[in-house]
C-alpha cells in the first residue's frame, strides 16, 4: 500500500477537478476512490436500524466485495452473505461475524468447503435442500422463498419475474420440508426506496407465508431496501421490522449491498483526447464496459456531480466498443486533454464486475481513510492481466 499526504481537497467544477491536491496528482488514473467518511454515513444508519429494530445486517458481497474497507464495515454489521463459494470464503476470511451461504445452484464438489465456511446455508430450491440434506446435516439450513411480488423496474433484475428460478413459491410444496430448515430468505426488493412499498410487500409475504414463518427461527428479508437513502423513514422501518420479528418470534436479517456503500466511491479518470463529430466528445482512460459494466447492462449513464454548466460533452471510454459511452454532461468550460473527471456512486455492482476487456488497464483501488489520508491499496499490472488468462 502507498500512503499519500494527509488532507485532500475535493474541489469539483461541473464534474472537473481543475484544482487538485498534489497528492491526488501522484495517483495515475484510472482508479476507484473509496471515501470512508462517506461510507460512515451509511454504516451509522445501518447501526441505528440494528439497534432500534433488533434486525441483524449482513453485507451482500455480490454488490460490494472490496475487502480493504471491511475493517470499518465489520464494526457496524453482523457479517456477510454470499452468492457463491468464493464469496463465502471471502466473507469468512476477511469479515468478522456470521457467514451466510446462498447459491442458485450448489455443485457436488462445493458442498464440503461450503459447509466448512458457513454459519447458515440457504438453499434455492427444495430439490437442492433434499439432494444435500445428508451432506449438510448439523448445519443451520434455510430455504429461499419467492413471494412473486417485487419492486424491480427491470425484468433483467426482477427476482419475481415470470418463470423465475429464484426460490420456491408454493406454500403447499414448502410445508412438507419444514422439519429440514430453520429459516427463510425472501429477497424481492430491488433498489426500493419506498417504505410504503416495502411495507405492502411484506404484508403480502405475511398473508401468503405467515403460517410457515411462525414455524421458523429466523427470516432474511434480503437486500435492495434503500433505507440509507436521504429522507427514508428509519423509525417507521425499524418499527415494522420489530413488529414482524415479535409477531412470528424470529430473528430478522437484512442483507444491505447498495444501501451499505451508496455514494461512497468514485471512478477517477483523465481526458486523453477530444473530438467533434456534431457533438463534443472526450475520450477518457477508462471504459464503461470494462469498469462500470452494470451501467452498460441497464443502459444507464454514469453519474457526475455537479452537472450544470453551459458546455455539453459526451464522455466516452477508450475501448473498441462503439457504444462505450459514459454519458453526456454539462461542464462550466470546454474539456481539454489532461482534465480529470470523477464519476460518482461507483461502488455497488461496479467494482465486482470490472473486467479485462480489450486488455485495458484495470483501475487501481484507493481508499481515503477517516483521518483524511489516502492509500493506494492495490494497483494492477500486466501480470494480473496475464494471470487472468491461460
Interatomic CA distance for residues 376 and 34, integer angstroms:
10
User: Is the confidence at residue 21, as pLDDT, over 70?
Assistant: no
Residue 140 — very low, low, confident or very high, per pLDDT cuts 50/70/90?
A: very high
Mean residue pLDDT across the chain: 93
Mean pLDDT of 114-129: 98
Mean pLDDT of 279-287: 98
Residue 25 — very low, low, confident or very high, per pLDDT cuts 50/70/90?
A: confident
Q: What is the DSSP letter of 192?
A: B
Interatomic CA distance for residues 16 and 42, integer angstroms:
26
User: Is the confidence at residue 22, as pLDDT, over 50?
Assistant: no
pLDDT on residue 153: 85
From 100, 112, 109, 176, select the one nearest 142 (Cα to Cα). Answer: 100
Cβ(269)–Cβ(72) below 8 Å: no
Count helices and strands in the chain by DSSP H and E runs: 13, 17
Cβ(149)–Cβ(188) below 8 Å: yes
Summarize pLDDT for 34-60 with one digit per residue, the tens: 999 999 999 999 999 999 999 999 999
pLDDT on residue 26: 83
Q: What is the DSSP letter of 360?
A: P
Cβ(189)–Cβ(148) below 8 Å: no
H or E segment and range at residue 312: strand 311-316
Interatomic CA distance for residues 251 and 220, integer angstroms:
8
User: Is the confidence at residue 208, as pLDDT, over 60?
Assistant: yes
Q: Which residues pair with 340 in a beta bridge?
A: 270
pLDDT on residue 13: 34
* Bond into 306 cis (ω within 30): yes
DSSP of 53-103, one letter per residue?
A: H--EEEEETTT---GGGHHHHTTTS-EEE-SSHHHHHHHHHHS-SEEEEEE
Interatomic CA distance for residues 146 and 262, integer angstroms:
26
Interatomic CA distance for residues 285 and 362, integer angstroms:
10
Summarize pLDDT for 318-362 with one digit per residue, the tens: 999 999 999 999 999 999 999 999 999 999 999 999 999 999 999
Q: Residues 6 or more apart from 147 whose CB is under 8 A from it?
A: 160, 169, 186, 188, 201, 204, 205, 208, 209
Q: Would residue 316 be called left, alpha or beta, if left means φ above 0 and alpha means ψ between -120 and 50 degrees? A: beta
User: Is the confidence at residue 32, as pLDDT, over 60?
Assistant: yes
User: Is the confidence at residue 15, as pLDDT, over 60?
Assistant: no
Residue 86 — very low, low, confident or very high, per pLDDT cuts 50/70/90?
A: very high
Residue 12 — very low, low, confident or very high, per pLDDT cuts 50/70/90?
A: very low
DSSP of 273-300, one letter per residue?
A: EEEESSSEEEEESS-HHHH-HHHHHTT-
Interatomic CA distance for residues 236 and 329, integer angstroms:
37
Question: Count of CB atoms within 10 A of residue 3's CB?
Answer: 12
Interatomic CA distance for residues 55 and 78, integer angstroms:
10
Secondary-structure percent of the chain, ordered helix, strand, coil, rounded to 5: 35, 25, 45
User: Is the confidence at residue 119, as pLDDT, over 80?
Assistant: yes
Summarize pLDDT for 368-388 with one digit per residue, the tens: 999 999 999 999 999 999 999
Amino acid at each position: 500500500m502507498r500512503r499519500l499526504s494527509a488532507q485532500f481537497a475535493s474541489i469539483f467544477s461541473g464534474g472537473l477537478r481543475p484544482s487538485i491536491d498534489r497528492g491526488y496528482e501522484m495517483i495515475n488514473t484510472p482508479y476507484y476512490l473509496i471515501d470512508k467518511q462517506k461510507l460512515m454515513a451509511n454504516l451509522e444508519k445501518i447501526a441505528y436500524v440494528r439497534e432500534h429494530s433488533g434486525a441483524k445486517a449482513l453485507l451482500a458481497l455480490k454488490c460490494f466485495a472490496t475487502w480493504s474497507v471491511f475493517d470499518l464495515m465489520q464494526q457496524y454489521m453482523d457479517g456477510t452473505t454470499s452468492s457463491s463459494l468464493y464469496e463465502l470464503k471471502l466473507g469468512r476470511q476477511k469479515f468478522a461475524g456470521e457467514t451466510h451461504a446462498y447459491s442458485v445452484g450448489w455443485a457436488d464438489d462445493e458442498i464440503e468447503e461450503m459447509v466448512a465456511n458457513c454459519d447458515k446455508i440457504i438453499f434455492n430450491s427444495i430439490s437442492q435442500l433434499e439432494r444435500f440434506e445428508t451432506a449438510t446435516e448439523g448445519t443451520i439450513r434455510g430455504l429461499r422463498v419467492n413471494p412473486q411480488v417485487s419492486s424491480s423496474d427491470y425484468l433483467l433484475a426482477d427476482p419475481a419475474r415470470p418463470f423465475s428460478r429464484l426460490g420456491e413459491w408454493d406454500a403447499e410444496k414448502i410445508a412438507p420440508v419444514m422439519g429440514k430448515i430453520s429459516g427463510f430468505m425472501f429477497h424481492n426488493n430491488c433498489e426500493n426506496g419506498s417504505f410504503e412499498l416495502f411495507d405492502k410487500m411484506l404484508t403480502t409475504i405475511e398473508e401468503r407465508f405467515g403460517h410457515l414463518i411462525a414455524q421458523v427461527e429466523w427470516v432474511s428479508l434480503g437486500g435492495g431496501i434503500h433505507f440509507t437513502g436521504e429522507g427514508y423513514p428509519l423509525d417507521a422501518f425499524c418499527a415494522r421490522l420489530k413488529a414482524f420479528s415479535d409477531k412470528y418470534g424470529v430473528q430478522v436479517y437484512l442483507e444491505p449491498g447498495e444501501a451499505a456503500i451508496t455514494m461512497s466511491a468514485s471512478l477517477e479518470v483523465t481526458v486523453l483526447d477530444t473530438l467533434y463529430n456534431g457533438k463534443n466528445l472526450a475520450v477518457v482512460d477508462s471504459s464503461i464496459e470494462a469498469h462500470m459494466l452494470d451501467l452498460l447492462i441497464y443502459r444507464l449513464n454514469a453519474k457526475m456531480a455537479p452537472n450544470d454548466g453551459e458546455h455539453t460533452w459526451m464522455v466516452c471510454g477508450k475501448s473498441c466498443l462503439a457504444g462505450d459511452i459514459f454519458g453526456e454532461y454539462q461542464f462550466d468550460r470546454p474539456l481539454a486533454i489532461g482534465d480529470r473527471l470523477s464519476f460518482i456512486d461507483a461502488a455497488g455492482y461496479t467494482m465486482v464486475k470490472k473486467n479485462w476487456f480489450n486488455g485495458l488497464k484495470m483501475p487501481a483501488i484507493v481508499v481515503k481513510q477517516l483521518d483524511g489520508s489516502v492509500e493506494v491499496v492495490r494497483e494492477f499490472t500486466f501480470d494480473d492481466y496475464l494471470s487472468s488468462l491461460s
